[in-house]
């Protein structure tokens, strides 16, 4: 049994998909499905009510879609990590979701064990990006934009940024640098502020674009 159970909310307009996800996830010792929602608006409401650790979010739903729901969760400062579960492979569909604050994505035909691993990974603070989507995100950015801002980072902040780009969680960064998690969170906040970025995904991509990697 894991030390901490990952609390998951399922948001998908297809009941059969939700049922399938729940059936598999409920046999995992360290994952608990705490609720379901059939569209983005209900998903936001349930996330605010239940405060899950991870939200499995479909993109295409009637009414409020997954991308709009993501934006609303970020506006509400909801702490849940959002993992997109989609049948759409086009970058034009996935990239906006990542920009809206998703921690990664998997396809609906994903191997069940891989899905459980993805949930654990985003809960730990990792960002799940396939290479072609990471490339698309980088290509959409101005290659020269923000480079000068990197000079304002302290040496410690650059060390933290390298580990963010490596997909490390705050806990892992704290262990690697022999710091408290609270101190790491402060460094991450300072990095985002100085680089004018909104989340860890953007910070990781900024680091890769500017060669600040381990």
DSSP letter (8 states) at residue 77: T
Position 143 scores a pLDDT of 47
Position 137 scores a pLDDT of 61
Question: What strand order describes the sheet that includes 6-11?
Answer: 31-37, 6-11, 54-57, 81-86, 104-107
CA-atom Rg of the chain in angstroms: 17
Position 83 scores a pLDDT of 93
3-state SS, residue 196: coil
CB contact at 8 A, 25 and 5: no
Position 149 scores a pLDDT of 58
Position 77 scores a pLDDT of 85
pTM here is 0.69
For strand 54-57 and strand 31-37, is the pairing parallel, antiparallel, or unpaired? unpaired
Position 169 scores a pLDDT of 82
CA dihedral 127, 73, 67, 187 (to 10 degrees): -30
Position 2 scores a pLDDT of 45
Position 144 scores a pLDDT of 46
Taking only the tens of pLDDT, the chain with its 214 residues reads 445 899 999 999 999 999 999 999 999 999 999 999 999 999 999 999 999 999 999 998 989 999 999 999 988 989 899 999 887 666 677 778 877 888 888 888 888 888 999 999 888 877 776 655 665 565 555 444 455 555 688 999 999 998 888 778 888 899 999 999 999 999 999 998 988 887 787 788 788 777 776 6
Position 91 scores a pLDDT of 65
């Amino acid at each position: 049994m894991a030390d901490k159970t990952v609390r998951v909310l399922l948001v998908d307009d297809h009941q059969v998909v939700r049922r399938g996800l729940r059936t598999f996830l409920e046999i995992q010792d360290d994952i608990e499905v705490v609720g379901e929602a059939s569209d983005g608006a209900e998903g936001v409401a349930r996330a605010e009510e239940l405060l899950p650790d991870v939200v499995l979010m479909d993109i295409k739903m009637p009414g409020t879609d997954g991308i709009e729901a993501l934006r609303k969760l970020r506006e509400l400062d909801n702490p849940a990590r959002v993992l997109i579960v989609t049948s759409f492979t086009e970058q034009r569909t996935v990239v906006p979701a990542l920009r809206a604050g998703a921690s990664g994505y998997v396809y609906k035909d994903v191997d069940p064990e891989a899905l459980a691993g993805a949930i654990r990974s985003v809960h730990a603070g990792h960002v799940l990006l396939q290479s072609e989507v990471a490339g698309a995100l980088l290509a959409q950015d101005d290659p020269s934009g923000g480079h000068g801002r990197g000079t304002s980072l302290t040496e410690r902040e650059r060390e933290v940024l390298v580990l963010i780009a490596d997909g490390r969680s705050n806990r892992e960064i704290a262990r690697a640098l022999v710091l408290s998690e609270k101190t790491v969170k402060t460094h991450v906040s300072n990095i985002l502020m100085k680089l004018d970025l909104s989340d860890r995904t953007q910070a990781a991509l900024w680091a890769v674009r500017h060669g600040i990697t381990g």
